[in-house]
Amino acid sequence: MINSLRKLKTPLLILICCLLGGGAGTGNVSAESAADSYNYSYWGDAVAAPAAYVATEWISGSDLGTGAFQEPSDLHVAAGNRVYVLDSGNNRIVVLDHDLKLVTTVDSFTREGKPDTFLQPQGIFVTDDGEVLVADTGNKRVVHLDADFQLVKIIDSPESELLQDSFKFEPMRVVMDHAQRIYVMAGGVFDGFMEFNAEGAFTTFIGANRVYIDPIEYFWKQISTKAQRSQMVMFTPTEFTNLDIDSEGFIYATNGDQWGNNIKKLNAQGSDILRRTGYSDPQGDILYISSEGPSKLIDIDVTDSEIYSVLDGKRGRVFTYNGDGHLMYVFGGLGNQLGQFHTPAAIDRIGEDFLVLDKALGEITVFRTTEYGRTLNEAVKSYYRGEEETAFALFNRTIAMNANLDFAYAGIGKALLRQGDYKDAMKHFKRSLDQKNYSKAFLLYRKEVMREHFPLIMTVLFLAGIGIFAAARLRKVKERRKGASA
């Protein structure tokens, strides 16, 4: 009997692994069949939508007169819509004005009286005051320059008990908050972002991702020998792929997690506080061909009113979400036409428009907003600012252009809810299948009805009580009379 079980062990293990592997992604349907601009319905179906943004032009280094870009890796739009392009292959920063015309190029700075240069820099960030931080990856340092590109400080070779003796500092992306704290995404670091104080000293890690355990890999580890396990991949937290910071100091970040939570909003303690109350969690495409896998998010840009956009490096698409996690619109893709990319690397907003950097082609694609995109953007912003009447009107205009945008009905419902029109709010929440807010509107509507008709209800109850009491007394009187006559 034991020998028979041993013979069956291998076939059974193979069968179990096939079932586990085959079940992954079987319910996924590609969104490729949808239009270039699409959205996801409450039921998770890809539905066509009007274009929120359209590509209008390409901009290259040659067009600017600076010579071709060589594998540019990042860009940042600062105050006054000044654009900073990190031309990594040429080890320089190219600065453009709000009209995307050349202002200057920076390929060196003075350090201790001598010129110093960048080496394969990968990330750039510019503060509201014009201070520039560069993740100078090849030189294993962060360079902090002032608005005139004069050196403020260098961060390199951080020391701490939290760091191993063999640690090598390879900054890839960098941001700074209003308190002059610097957050660095470093290569090979799985403990989160590295935080540095205003003086440039390393203080701690924040926002480490959770460890994801592949069930199939874990299963094989349990039945493998010690020697075999030593050759297998270790279970480690997912690395971050990019970050941005909003005006309130919250860090928005993307990571390579393929199983959800690949977008995070981190507070000062490093806790993820991103709201995920949309029809599906913000993650890029939710429908895809199983062989291709989910979106690989490589950049994130956050604007005002908690609106943020992420760039999918796998399919070249830009996904924009509101603060609750509802998908607002999608644009972009891979290809050779205007509005498509070869190797997208970075995104940022310039006013209401978008800039997308293509690393392989060395070009910036400019996307201008359409009437539909402007209307939807302003509707979300108006609601965020508490301008209910404006939000109500703009969401109605949005629905007139795109009846498939289910969450816009919820937006109207929320605007009506704030205005105290609970009955109509219920209708729109029902249309958007927003059960939580429908229940809230129903409770408020019920209270309103009770309050409005309270005198009538109490009068009816009082009269009904008197009637019941009178009927009972009358019945007792009749029973006594019958007893007396008997």
* pLDDT the model gives residue 13: 44
For tokens 């490093």, name the residue: 270
111 falls in which pLDDT band (50, 70, 90)? very high
* pLDDT the model gives residue 401: 96
Q: Answer whether 249's CB lies under 8 Å from 189's CB.
A: no
Q: Distance between CA atoms of 84 and 278, rounded to whole angstroms?
A: 34
**In this structure, which amino acid lies at residue 143?**
V
Q: Distance between CA atoms of 209 and 170, rounded to whole angstroms?
A: 19
Angle at 32 between CA 29 and CA 34, to 5 degrees: 95
Mean pLDDT score, 159-177: 92
Give how far Cα 202 sits from Cα of 131, 184, 282, 408, 445, Å. 20, 10, 32, 45, 54
Backbone angles phi, psi at 91, to 5 degrees: 55, 50
The three state secondary structure string of the chain is CHHHHHHHHHHHHHHHHHHHHHHCCCCCCCCCCCCCCEEECCCCCEEECCCCEEEEEEEEHHHHCCCCCCCCCEEEECHHHCEEEEEHHHCEEEEECCCCCEEEEECEEEECCEEEECCCCCEEEECCCCCEEEEEHHHCEEEEECCCCCEEEEEECCCCCCCCCCCCCCEEEEEECCCCCEEEEECCCCCCEEEECCCCCEEEEECCCCECCCHHHHHHHHHCCHHHHHCCCCCCECCEEEEEECCCCCEEEEECCCCCCCEEEECCCCCECCCCCCCCCCCCCCCCCCCCCCCCEEEEEECHHHCEEEEECCCCEEEEECCCCCEEEEEECECCCCCCECCEEEEEEECCEEEEEECCCCEEEEEEECHHHHHHHHHHHHHHCCCHHHHHHHHHHHHHHCCCCHHHHHHHHHHHHHHCCHHHHHHHHHHCCCHHHHHHHHHHHHHHHHHHCHHHHHHHHHHHHHHHHHHHHHHHHHHHHHHHHC
* pLDDT the model gives residue 17: 44
Which positions ≥6 away from 9 have C-beta within 8 Å? Answer: none
19 falls in which pLDDT band (50, 70, 90)? very low
Whether residue 400 has pLDDT greater than 70: yes
All domains of the chain, ordered by start, with CATH?
A: 39-369 (2.120.10.30), 370-485 (1.25.40.10)
Strand partners, 154: 143
* pLDDT the model gives residue 93: 98
* pLDDT the model gives residue 118: 98
Q: Distance between CA atoms of 196 and 169, rounded to whole angstroms?
A: 13
Q: Distance between CA atoms of 79 and 215, rounded to whole angstroms?
A: 47
> For residue range 262-286, what is the model confidence (pLDDT) as tens digits?
999 999 999 999 999 999 999 999 9
Strand partners, 105: 94
Mean pLDDT score, 220-239: 57
Sign of the C-alpha dihedral, residues 345, 346, 352, 353? negative
Whether residue 403 has pLDDT greater than 60: yes
Whether residue 25 has pLDDT greater than 70: no
Q: Answer whether 293's CB lies under 8 Å from 319's CB.
A: no
Whether residue 170 has pLDDT greater than 50: yes
224 falls in which pLDDT band (50, 70, 90)? low
> For residue range 436-456, what is the model confidence (pLDDT) as tens digits?
888 888 887 777 777 776 676
289 falls in which pLDDT band (50, 70, 90)? confident
The three state secondary structure string of 408-464 is HHHHHHHHHHHHCCHHHHHHHHHHCCCHHHHHHHHHHHHHHHHHHCHHHHHHHHHHH
417 falls in which pLDDT band (50, 70, 90)? confident
Whether residue 186 has pLDDT greater than 70: yes
Q: Which residue has better confidence, 125 or 213?
A: 125
Backbone angles phi, psi at 7, to 5 degrees: -65, -30
Whether residue 155 has pLDDT greater than 50: yes
Whether residue 292 has pLDDT greater than 90: no
* pLDDT the model gives residue 242: 97
* pLDDT the model gives residue 234: 47
pTM (2 d.p.): 0.82
Strand partners, 134: 124, 143
Whether residue 64 has pLDDT greater than 80: yes
Q: Which residue has better confidence, 4 or 192?
A: 192
26 falls in which pLDDT band (50, 70, 90)? very low
Q: Among residues of the chain, what percentage have pLDDT more than 70?
A: 85
Mean pLDDT score, 417-431: 87
Whether residue 4 has pLDDT greater than 80: no
Q: Answer whether 349's CB lies under 8 Å from 77's CB.
A: yes
* pLDDT the model gives residue 15: 47
* pLDDT the model gives residue 223: 60
* pLDDT the model gives residue 290: 80
> For residue range 326-348, what is the model confidence (pLDDT) as tens digits?
999 999 999 999 999 999 999 99
231 falls in which pLDDT band (50, 70, 90)? low
73: which 2 tokens?
A: 């890796």
* pLDDT the model gives residue 228: 53
Whether residue 99 has pLDDT greater than 90: yes
Whether residue 189 has pLDDT greater than 50: yes
- CA-based Rg of the chain, rounded to a whole angstrom? 30
Q: Distance between CA atoms of 231 and 234, rounded to whole angstroms?
A: 9
Mean pLDDT score, 75-87: 96
**Cα torsion at 386, 388, 394, 400 (round to 10°)?**
140
